[in-house]
Structure 1
C-alpha cells in the first residue's frame, strides 16, 4: 500500500464507510462485547447511522483513507462538542484490520485535528473502550491524556469507556 489519499468524505462514501465501520467493529471488539451484538451489526443500519451523523447539528465531518486502488480502508469522524473542556470530539476512527499499524490512523487523526484548527477549535477528546488495549495504546502514543470515564452498554454487557483529550490539537497535525 504505497499510495494513500486522505480526503473529506461525502454522502457518496457512506456505503464504504458503513462497511469499514461494521467490519472494524467485528474485528476490534471480538471478545470484548457479546457475539450476538456483533452479529447483529448490519451494513444497512450502519449506513443509516452515518447518514444521520452527517446531518446532525454539531458540524459533523468524516475523512476517509483511500488506498492506491481507491478503496476506502479507513475513516475518522469528528464533530463540535458542547463541553467546557474540549472544543471537538474525535467521534470515530476505524480501519480495516489489514491496514492497522501502518500509520493510516495517525494520518486520519491528523486530518481531524487540522479540520478542527480550520474551524478555530483548539482541543479535542475521544472515547475508547477500556478493554480495547490497542486503542488505548494508540491514543496514549499520540499524547492523549486520560481525563474521564463512563459506562456504556453493548448487547446487555456494561463496559468501561475512557476519554482521552488533547488541549492543543496542533500537536496532532503532521505531514505525511
Structure 2
C-alpha cells in the first residue's frame, strides 16, 4: 500500500505540475469547453507560469507524491477577490493526475493547504469552481466548503462561457 506525501514544490517540479495541470484540465473540462481549446493548451507556457509561481511563492505551491512521483498539486495564498479581509485565503488551483482521482490525493493536498493558510493567519478560505464541474464541487463540499450562492460569475475559457461559483469555509472549525 502506498502513502501520499506532500511537500513544498521546487523549481524542478514545474514541468510535472504543468503536465498534471494540462491532463487534469483536459479530463475535467471535456464536454464543458471545446476540444480544440483543450488540445491547444501550451505546455511550455504552463511550465513557465508554474516556475514563476514557485520562485516567487505566489501562490504557494505544494505537490503530492506517491512513490516519489508527483501525482497532484495545490496552489494557495491570500484571496485574490476584491474587498476580502486579509484573513481570507484562497485555493488558487488544485489538480490531481486523472489516474489518481478518488485515491486521497486531493484530501492530502487540501490538508497541506489548510495548514499553510492557517500558518499565514487565515481564518477562512475560498475557491472558485465551475458550476458544471460536479466532481470539483463534490470534492470541495466533502472538504466542508459551502456554496456562496450570491457569488456566481462568468469566465470565458476557450471561447465558451462558464459560470463559476465561489465556495467558502472556515479554517478554524469543521471537518478536514
TM-score if structure 1 supplies the norm length? 0.89
CA separation in 2, counterparts of 1:51 and 1:159?
Answer: 27
Partner of 1:150: 153
Partner of 1:160: 163
Partner of 1:39: 39
Structure 1: runs of 5 or more not aligned: none
CA separation in 1, counterparts of 2:58 and 2:175?
Answer: 20
Q: Say whether the 8 Å CA contact 2:64–2:73 is kept in structure 1.
A: yes
Residue 170 of structure 1, CA deviation: 5.4
Q: Say whether the 8 Å CA contact 1:152–1:159 is kept in structure 2.
A: yes
Q: Say whether the 8 Å CA contact 2:118–2:171 is kept in structure 1.
A: no
Partner of 2:75: 77
Structure 2: runs of 5 or more not aligned: none
Residue 52 of structure 1, CA deviation: 3.4
CA separation in 2, counterparts of 1:12 and 1:30?
Answer: 29
Q: Say whether the 8 Å CA contact 2:15–2:47 is kept in structure 1.
A: yes
Residue 84 of structure 1, CA deviation: 2.2
Cα deviation digits, residues 93-130 of structure 1 (max 9, x gap): 11111101111101101100100111111111001111
Partner of 1:13: 13
Partner of 1:62: 61
Q: How large is the RMSD of aligned CA atoms in angstroms? A: 1.8
Query: 1 or 2, which has the higher strand percentage?
Result: 2
Q: Say whether the 8 Å CA contact 2:59–2:92 is kept in structure 1.
A: no
Q: Say whether the 8 Å CA contact 1:81–1:88 is kept in structure 2.
A: yes
Aligned length: 171
Residue 172 of structure 1, CA deviation: 5.5
After superposing on structure 2, the runs of 4+ consecutive aligned residues of structure 1 that deviate more than 4 Å are: none
